[in-house]
Structure 1
Amino acid sequence: MDIDAAARSVLVPFVAQNGRRLGARVRYYLQLWRARNSFREYGQRYPNPLLFVAGLPKSGTSWLESMLASYPGYQYVTIPEAVAYELRTGGSHDFDLPADTFERFEDALVVSKLHVHGSRHNAQLLHEADVPYVVLYRDLRDVAVSHYFYVRRTPWHPEYEDYRGLDVEEGLLHFGRTLLPEFVDWMRSWRERREPQQSIELRYEDLLDDAVGEFRHVASHFGLDASPATIERIVTEHRFATMSNGRSRGEQDEQSFARKGVAGDWQNHFTDAAKELFKTHAGQALIDFGYESDIHW
């Protein structure tokens, strides 16, 4: 590597990370201002001004967030602490919410999507604030594939240097040795601690198979308009072809956030070595969460 290339490999991620950190704080205050203005106009329509989604990374959380924000008045709001934590550590899947998180959203119409885990702290905050929420997860093998392609095209990501020189097999093995056990813990933490009357579980695969039915369930949980016409309109507006500039589901674009939009893509990439590693770290979890009936896959 020449000197200029070496300098760029350090400078580009540094500039990207700091730009994103600053932008996140500015965007947060703008989002919150809009959410409070919206509350004054639309707040009386909704029983729940805050819609909270705790999603496993790469599990369709942005898709669900976008559909929820289609209801008049609701605004995306992302707290800057979560962004800063992700930039510092490589992910927010083990992030604990600030104690005043839900106080910040008073008198505002907010859709908040975060990758926070189901720690005692986070579960208790949601319980005390009486905030309804959805826990969204995905087959961990597909999460690994999606994570590999996502990090390789994201210079600001702290793991970019770890992944950019790896082929798919090497990338999946690296994920299996590093993040996979933490993501298994993420799924188990929410299943163990979520409040059943206050929350629902949702699988990305079920949302793909029956977007209308699953989103109707989510809308009803949040007390939103779940009429057939409304649900059909929102789902149609957020179908994969619309969000990927016309690509059909399954048609890959490695540079797009909406890369492929399918379930089971792991079967196109997993080698025997990757299978064995994932069976070791996530075999029982895949059974417990309904992705496999036994360890022989």
Structure 2
Amino acid sequence: MAGIAKTVSENESLRRFFIPAYRLLARTVVFYPGPRVLATSVPKAGTHLVASLLKNFPRMMFSGRHSSLAEWALPGTRSDVAGNVPELDWDRLERALKAVNRGHFMTAHFPAVPELREMLQRLDYKTVFMIRDPRDVAISNAFYITRLKRHFLNERFNQEMTTLDERIMACITGLPVTEASSGLISIGQRITNYVGWKDDPGTHLCRFEDLVGANGGGSDEAQRREIESIATHINRPLSPGDIQRIARKTWSQDSSTFRKGVIGDWKNHFNDAHKEAFKRVAGQELADLGFERNLDW
């Protein structure tokens, strides 16, 4: 199954066929008149893990929709070098959000834009915001962009950079916009754009490190607690047996974007230059999220 998903993910022709077909199928299936659910995160912070979790909930189905705000930008606009969100076609975005059936979920990389948060509340969405140690996010990004040919930065990562160290540094400090390519904002700026979800009343904050369980280097007990908390947030109470079953099935390499998915992989890749650069652009954000107490790491 993972091989099929990877083939579809990396083949644009297959994506154009299978994704709309799956969305059409999902629209015909109504399991439960509960809230719509949005799982959002900074790219490579564990969206696949939340999706794996929700797919294992009783009477819960993936809508087939995975999105970023850039898809809803008005023609001729794009995020600027500071990562500010471009002007959006809000009517078109609202139609897409409404197309998700109640009791279904979608995944996204949506920053915490106030207008979007208000729209989600009006459409009866419950949001799960996944956070992950941003140092691990940078490592995951470096491998992902280098590997995925359809990524908008893949060519730059493979032509302008020759080593993994260079690619990791780019994922930490960012890349400037060029005439031919969009850029990449720093990891600190990316965190800042998303962290507003923490204070949203309709949003549950979920830590990647709590959800991976022992197989990902975490704790099975923390994983079960997190599953129960998410179930409560989305109004889908689970029995102890359901929680155990979902916990066993959630952490999986059956994902087209899955590489390693464990806690603390940054320690295997960061050199001193990476550490200093990270502390400069995102050291305070790292501490604010509770992953470190200070810059002494």
Of 31, 34, 44, the residue aligned with 2:22 is 31
Matched, 1:214 2:203: no
Counterpart in 2 of 1:9? none
- CA drift at 1:26: 3.9
Counterpart in 2 of 1:285? 285
| Contact in 2 for aligned 1:61/1:136 (Cα 8 Å) | yes
What per-residue deviation string (whole Å, max 9, x for no partner) do you get for residues 131-151 of structure 1?
Answer: 111111111111111111112
Matched to 2:21, the amino acid is L
- CA drift at 1:284: 0.3
Q: 1:81 to 1:259 in 2, by over 3 A?
A: closer
Cα distance between partner residues in 2 of 1:237 and 1:222: 19
- CA drift at 1:233: 0.6
Q: 1:157 to 1:193 in 2, by over 3 A?
A: closer
Counterpart in 2 of 1:132? 126
| Contact in 2 for aligned 1:51/1:112 (Cα 8 Å) | yes
Q: 1:113 to 1:211 in 2, by over 3 A?
A: same
Cα distance between partner residues in 1 of 2:84 and 2:257: 19
* Length-normalised TM-score, structure 1: 0.76
What per-residue deviation string (whole Å, max 9, x for no partner) do you get for residues 26-57 of structure 1?
Answer: 44432333223221xx22xx422x11111111
Of 127, 135, 140, the residue aligned with 1:141 is 135
Matched, 1:54 2:43: no
Cα distance between partner residues in 1 of 2:203 and 2:66: 24
| Contact in 2 for aligned 1:53/1:135 (Cα 8 Å) | yes
Cα distance between partner residues in 2 of 1:174 and 1:186: 13
Of 243, 252, 256, the residue aligned with 1:231 is 243
Matched, 1:168 2:164: yes
Matched, 1:184 2:194: no
* Length-normalised TM-score, structure 2: 0.76
Cα distance between partner residues in 2 of 1:172 and 1:27: 33
Counterpart in 2 of 1:198? 202
Indicate the structure whose relative CO is greater, using CA pairs within 8 Å and at least 6 residues apart. 2
Q: 1:19 to 1:264 in 2, by over 3 A?
A: closer
What per-residue deviation string (whole Å, max 9, x for no partner) do you get for residues 39-83 of structure 1?
Answer: 1xx22xx422x1111111111111211220223443323447649
Of 145, 148, 156, the residue aligned with 1:154 is 148
3-state SS of 1:71 partner: coil
3-state SS of 1:114 partner: strand
Q: Which structure 2 residues correspond to residues 115-126 of structure 1 after superposition, within 5 A?
A: 115-126=109-120
State which drifts further: 69-78 or 270-279. Answer: 69-78
What per-residue deviation string (whole Å, max 9, x for no partner) do you get for residues 154-184 of structure 1?
Answer: 1111211222343221111111221775543
Matched, 1:67 2:53: yes
What per-residue deviation string (whole Å, max 9, x for no partner) do you get for residues 101-157 of structure 1?
Answer: 32222x454210101111122212112223111111111111111111112221111
Q: 1:101 to 1:185 in 2, by over 3 A?
A: farther
Cα distance between partner residues in 1 of 2:245 and 2:51: 15
3-state SS of 1:29 partner: helix
State which drifts further: 53-62 or 73-82. Answer: 73-82
Q: Which structure 2 residues correspond to residues 82-121 of structure 1 after superposition, within 5 A?
A: 82=68, 85=71, 98-105=93-100, 107-121=101-115
Q: 1:194 to 1:285 in 2, by over 3 A?
A: closer
3-state SS of 1:100 partner: helix
Q: Which has the higher helix share?
A: 1
How many residues are matched? Answer: 261
- CA drift at 1:236: 0.7
The percent identity for this pair of structures is 26
Q: 1:153 to 1:124 in 2, by over 3 A?
A: same
3-state SS of 1:135 partner: strand
- CA drift at 1:194: 5.5
> Which ranges of structure 1 fall in alignment gaps of 5 or more residues?
1-15, 245-255
